[in-house]
Structure 1
Amino acid sequence: MQFNNTGQAIYLQIVDHICEKVLLDESRPDDKLPSVREMAVNLEVNPNTVMRAYEFLKQQHVIQDKRGIGYFISADAKSNALNYRKKQFMESELPAFFRVMNMLRMEPADLVPAYEKFKDNYLTV
């Protein structure tokens, strides 16, 4: 996992990474996550950063803590991750996108051909 320099907190980048894995079915319900220490070593971050990400994911009901055993992907992780990411996209990413569209005098209809091309390429990969 590579961290970006967009100003987003590292723990939220870890949250997004885990949510993405859930949404892409790379992590499924009842899959065990690495321990806090193991994840911290793998990502080369402070264990407190990983703990903060795990706590946030618990609050979003994407993961669950089984005391003494570890952290696991929750049964309804996919729908909860989807809801969280949609909300985040609508509040954080979309306003900047709309600002650029407005600056370029683009309308939503201008995006349809590019989006259809993207879907065609993405689905054939």
Structure 2
Amino acid sequence: MVFKDSPAIYIQIALYICEQILLKKWKAEEKIMSIRDLGELIEISPNTVQRAYDFLQQKNIIVNKRGIGFFVGPDAEENILSFRREQFMENELPEMLRNLYLLKIDMKKVNDLYERFVKDNFLNKKK
């Protein structure tokens, strides 16, 4: 996994886990990797992975079943969508809209590009 300067690494790990859930690679109530195993896989300190898991537990995305491990929460997908939509609307969309205005990019063009992106990247993929 390649990390960016921001947001914090533990948030990037949490977003990676959320993406796996949204892509249905990790399903509701399915056991996920242990803190140590995920840390080894992505070459990050277990303490940083622990912070990501703590964050996801606070958002009710994963649950810790003591003595058994961590599991995807039953409502994880809905909680991720709520959290990510809020984050997107507050942080990413305003800058994107500003750039669309400044660069005089037509919304119809954006919509066409969006539809092609979805078709090319998601609709034709086999699960």
Cα distance in 1 for partners of 2:64, 2:17 equals 15
- The answer to whether the 8 A contact 1:31-1:72 is kept is yes
Identity %: 40
State the secondary structure of the residue aligned to 2:64: strand
Cα distance in 2 for partners of 1:24, 1:5 equals 22
State the secondary structure of the residue aligned to 1:71: strand
Q: Mean alpha-carbon deviation: is it higher for 87-96 or for 103-112?
A: 103-112
Q: List structure 1 segments (4+ residues) > 6 angstroms apart after TM superposition.
A: none
- The answer to whether the 8 A contact 1:3-1:13 is kept is no
1:3-49 deviation digits (Å, cap 9, x = unpaired): 33242111011111111111111101121121111211111111111
1:55-108 deviation digits (Å, cap 9, x = unpaired): 110011110011111110011111111111111211222122122112202243
Instruction: Indicate the residue corresponding to 1:29 in structure 2.
Output: 28
Q: How far off is 1:124 after superposition?
A: 2.3
Cα distance in 2 for partners of 1:7, 1:113 equals 30
Cα distance in 2 for partners of 1:4, 1:99 equals 26
Provide the aligned length of Structure 1 versus Structure 2: 124
Query: Structure 1 residue 38 and structure 2 residue 37: aligned?
Result: yes
Matched ranges for 1:84-99 at <5 A: 84-99=83-98
Cα distance in 2 for partners of 1:74, 1:60 equals 10
Instruction: Indicate the residue corresponding to 1:124 in structure 2.
Output: 124
Give TM-score scaled by structure 2 length. Answer: 0.88
Give 5+ residue unaligned stretches, structure 2. none
- The answer to whether the 8 A contact 1:61-1:74 is kept is yes
Give 5+ residue unaligned stretches, structure 1. none
State the one-letter code of the partner of 2:34: S
Q: How far off is 1:117 after superposition?
A: 2.0
Instruction: Indicate the residue corresponding to 1:7 in structure 2.
Output: 6
Instruction: Indicate the residue corresponding to 1:114 in structure 2.
Output: 113
